[in-house]
């Protein structure tokens, strides 16, 4: 006879600077909503899992979520609660793989925004459709952005001349810097963190506290070679 699955709910909260700016869903707010929902569902044993400063583009870049999924598969918990579908996955492929794992290993996914639970066939069907629609919307936005860049090239518009200074790091990385600062991390610690993760800098071989500070102070849009002041 198979061992009984532990009635433990994992409450997964993830946030980036841009997410928080758009909808106000801080980690604290997510945790409060998740605890309330888990208690209402009958779970007295809950565990909060935080994923901070990580991209939602792929689950491969989120070690906390990957570890949670492994625990669920092993029967160490029986449910995964998230506030919104995009906190869990932002691609149909990732989302469907998580749903399939839940179905195969007999654990449930609960998403508060949709008021859906994959323990039911209806919930499984609806969240699959919603995930596909969300990915389609992002693809449409990306296609529009490519059209904008193509139009600029055809018109001969140049960054720094017709369009103002070009952003020197990705929006995602800039948002992560601001998010880590909002969590109280110093410029030096952020630089050390990026160096440890092997994140490349635009101009230098390493990140320095002064470099991070300039990206924040200048909004990342005016740093050019020679402006950085590396520390020995």
**Annotated catalytic residue: which of 16, 78, 131, 175?**
16
Residues 97 and 170 in one domain: no
Whether residues 112 and 194 fall in one domain: no
List the domain range (segments joined by +) for residue 81.
8-131
Query: According to DSSP H, which parts of the chain are helical?
Result: 17-23, 27-40, 63-73, 85-88, 92-104, 121-155, 171-182, 187-197, 209-217
| Residue with the two structure tokens 């309330």 | 36
Q: Is residue 102 domain-shared with residue 175, that is, in the same domain?
A: no
Residues 108, 18: one domain?
A: yes
User: Is residue 16 flagged as an active site residue?
Assistant: yes
Residues 214 and 168 in one domain: yes
Q: Among all chains, which residue has been given the structure tokens 């995964």?
A: 80
Between 73 and 114, residue with greater pLDDT: 73
CATH number of the domain residue 79 falls in: 3.40.50.1390
Instruction: Provide the 10 A C-beta neighbour count for residue 8.
Output: 18
Count up the domains in the chain and report the number.
2
136 assigned to some structural domain: no
Are 67 and 182 members of one domain? no
Given pLDDT bands bounded at 50, 70 and 90, which one contains residue 97?
Answer: confident
CB 127 within 8 A of CB 98: no
**114 domain residue, yes or no:** yes
pLDDT digits (tens, 9 = 90+) for 41-54: 999 899 999 987 66
Verdict on whether the full-model pTM lies above 0.85: no
Count Cβ neighbours within 10 Å for each residue of 181-191 and write b for 16 or more, e otherwise.
Answer: beeebebeebb
15 and 126 both lie in a single domain: yes
Q: How far apart are CA 50 and CA 138, in angstroms?
A: 25
User: Does residue 114 share a domain with residue 21?
Assistant: yes
205-219 burial code (b ≥16 CB/10 A, e <16):
eebbbebbbbbeeee
């Amino acid at each position: 006879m198979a061992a009984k699955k532990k009635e433990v709910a994992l409450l997964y909260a993830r946030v980036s600077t841009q997410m928080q700016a758009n909808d106000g869903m801080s980690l604290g707010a997510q945790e409060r909503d998740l605890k309330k929902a888990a208690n209402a569902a009958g779970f007295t044993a809950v565990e909060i899992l935080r994923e901070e400063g990580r991209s939602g583009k792929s689950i491969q870049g989120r070690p906390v979520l990957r570890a949670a999924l492994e625990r669920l598969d092993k029967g160490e918990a029986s449910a995964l609660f998230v506030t919104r579908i995009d906190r869990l996955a932002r691609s149909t492929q990732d989302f469907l793989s998580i749903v399939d794992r839940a179905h195969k290993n007999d654990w449930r996914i609960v998403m508060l925004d949709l008021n859906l639970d994959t323990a039911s066939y209806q919930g499984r069907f609806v969240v699959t459709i919603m995930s596909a629609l969300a990915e389609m919307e992002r693809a449409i936005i990306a296609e529009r952005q490519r059209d904008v860049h193509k139009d600029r090239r055809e018109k001969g518009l140049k960054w720094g001349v017709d369009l103002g200074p070009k952003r020197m790091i990705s929006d995602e990385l800039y948002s992560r810097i601001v998010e880590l600062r909002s969590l109280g991390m110093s410029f030096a610690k952020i630089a050390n963190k990026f160096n440890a993760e092997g994140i490349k800098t635009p101009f230098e071989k390493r990140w320095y506290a002064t470099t991070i500070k300039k990206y924040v102070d200048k909004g990342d849009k005016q740093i050019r070679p020679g402006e950085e002041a590396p520390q020995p």
